[in-house]
Every structure is written in structure tokens, then in C-alpha cells.
Amino acid sequence: MTKKTKAAQSIGVIDLGITEGARMQSASAVTQLIEQVDITAIAGDNGAEIASMVAAGLNAASEEGQRDLVNQLLGQAQMAGAFEQFSRTVRISKLAYVKENKLYRQIKGLKLRTGSESLDGTWEEFCGLLGMSVDKVDLDITNLRTFGEEALESMSRMGIGYRELRQFRKLPQDYRAALIAAANGGDKDELLDLAEELLEKERASKADLEAKAATLEEDVKSFKRREKNYEAELERVHSQVKRLSEGKKRTTELLLRTEEIRSECMALQLEAELPINSLRKLFEEVSSESADAPENRLQMEHIWIAANVVAARALDIVALIKATEEDLPERLQGTHILSPEETARWLLDYQTIENRHAAEAIARQEKRDAAKPRGAGRPRGSVNKPKGD
């Protein structure tokens, strides 16, 4: 009796904050809360104090039925000293019941001596009254819903902490089911070995998915480049169809065949210039490196061979043309003179050829990258086991 008296003296008066007409309804709501939830089972060391606070608050209610409510609350408070006998998962399950059924709203309107404002009946306030962090309680409830009461209790006895449980929650459902079965079996070593195996499989699966995602991303970029080329090609074809279908009077006195050859020569010239420009860029990259760099001389020889082959092919056709035709211009004109219509078509052709050249260069690099040897894989991970295991 001395212990009960001391607990009652430490409790502040609670102002229920309700009108006289609603007091009986409030008392009924509190009675329902008491019947559904064991206050001391979830409140820990604060259980006796909270139960006594509610009992003191009911002094403001109607006298009818008050004695029964007080007796129930005091009975709950008497059990607070034996709270340590409750398992952790039992406490969590009771808290989960309170949250799921929103029973914490029953504290709305209560006023504590330590504050002048009434409680709003929130989940955060309920956890605070119990001296618990709302984040930790929510995490405990999440673990309970994920693994079940029996498995969570078993893993708690094995020393499995929040870090490991967080890793387990990220596993696929079938993997979690296997862990739950192992935990229910009660063999700690079996559970840890299985967890390590499943986590390693999940890491390997994740790495594989990331690699596939990277490949798909590159494919999407490649498709976009091709789409751009196709659009330019389609625009060029539409322009040609429009030109031929309209039957407009030509703006030059040249034969159509001459215009077509000029257009084709311009395209071939660009297709020849772009690779030569790329070859020059490659030369500049290699020549900028130190001459003592590994195989620098061999790399330069490859560029030299490519440049000579291109020049030889060009000189062959130059000699062939000179042998066929006489009195060719000694001084070459830098650009072709085009009509407005030819200029419009050439702008489309130029973009198509340039995009195609860039896409082909990227495709070659992608093939080279794909052929490179893979690096070492990620080291095998493991679940942190308690020391001494």
C-alpha cells in the first residue's frame, strides 16, 4: 500500500476539458480504451503514473460509474511493477493495436499539470506519454508486421538488431519467408548463414539489374540518335518527292542529271572529309601524349598507315580523272555553287550524313567497351554477427 500511495502522490491533476453534459460520454470512451488496451503493458515504468493520472482525471466526471472506472484503472496500475515480465513483441503488438484502431484519440482533451494546453489526441502525444520515440515505435511496428510476432521475438532473443532487420526488410517476399521460417526454428547459426546467403544473392541480383539498366539506357540513347537520323532522312525524301511532284520550272539551265551528280559528289565529299577530320583529331590526341607513353610510337604508326591509305586512294582517282579528261581546272574551287533549292536539300543531307557519321563512331566505341574485360566483382558481404558467435 505504501508503494501505491507514493505513485498516486507523484501524479498531476488532469483537466478533461469537457462539459458537464459530455462527461458521462467521455467516461464511457475511457472505459472502452481500458477494456481494449492494457495500459501498463505498453507504458513500462510510466504505466502506474499514467493509469493514476487517468484515474485522477475521472474525479471531474459524474459520480455514477466513477467507482468502477477507478477500480479498473487502479487494477491496471497495480500490474505496472510486473511489466518486465512482458516480452518486447507483446508490447509492440499492443502498441500496434492502439495505432491501427486509433485508440490514442481517447486522450484528446486531457490536461496535464506540467502544461496549460490540452492534448490533441495524436499518436505522437500518446508515444510521448509513454516515454517512447514515435519513430522507434513506428519502426518496431513495421518490423512486427513484416516478420510476425513469433519470428521477431525469436530474432530479438538471438541478438538480431535494427540494422540487420532493415536489411531483411529489403529482401524479396520469398526470401523474407525463408528467414521467418528459420527464425521460428530457433537455430541462430542457421538463420545467420541463410541471411548471408540470401543477402549475397540479392546483391548479385541488384548488380545484374543495374548493369541491365545501364545497357538499356545506352540502347535508348542509340535509338534516339537513330531516330534523329531517320527524321532527317525522311525530311530529305519528302523534300525530293515534293520537288518532283510539283513540276516547277527549274531555276537553272543545267541538266537534271548534272544537278544529281553535283549533289551526290557533295555528299561523298562530306562523307570523305568527316573521317579524315576524325583521323586528324585522333592524331592530335596521340601526339599530345608523352613520347615515352606505353606504345605511343605504335599508335602513331597506325595513324600514319591510315592517312597514307586514304591519300593513296584519293591520288588514284585524281590520276584516273586527269588521264580521262584534259584541261581540268588547275586551281580547285573550294565550294560548289548551288541554287536555293539545292541549298535547302543540301542542308538536310549534311545533317543526315553528319549524324550518321557520329552514330557510327559511337557504335564502334560501344562495341569496344563491351569487349573490354570486366573488373573484379564486389566482395562477398555478410551479416554482422554478434561477437563470440
Question: What's the pLDDT tens digit per position in 43-76?
Answer: 555 555 555 555 555 444 444 454 454 445 444 5
**Cα–Cα distance measured from residue 96 to residue 143, given in angstroms and rounded to the nearest whole number:** 11
- pLDDT in the model for residue 328: 77
pLDDT-derived band at 304 (thresholds 50, 70, 90) equals very high
Residue 121 contacts residue 173 (beta carbons within 8 Å): no
Instruction: Point out the least confidently predicted range of 15-24, 200-209, 246-255, 304-313.
Output: 15-24
Residues 6+ apart with CB under 8 A from 54: 14, 30, 39, 73, 110
Q: Is 315 exposed, middle or buried (0-12, 13-18, 19+ CB in 10 A)?
A: exposed
Question: What's the pLDDT tens digit per position in 332-385?
Answer: 665 666 666 666 766 777 777 877 778 888 888 888 888 877 655 444 444 444
Question: What's the pLDDT tens digit per position in 187-222?
Answer: 888 888 888 888 888 888 888 888 888 888 888 887
- pLDDT in the model for residue 107: 82
Q: Domain map of the chain by residue range?
A: 2-146, 217-327+336-371
Query: Residue 211, Cβ neighbours under 10 Å: how many?
Result: 11
pTM of the shown model: 0.39
Q: What's the mean per-residue pLDDT of the chain?
A: 72
Question: What's the pLDDT tens digit per position in 162-185?
Answer: 888 888 888 888 888 888 888 888
CA 374 to chain centre: 25
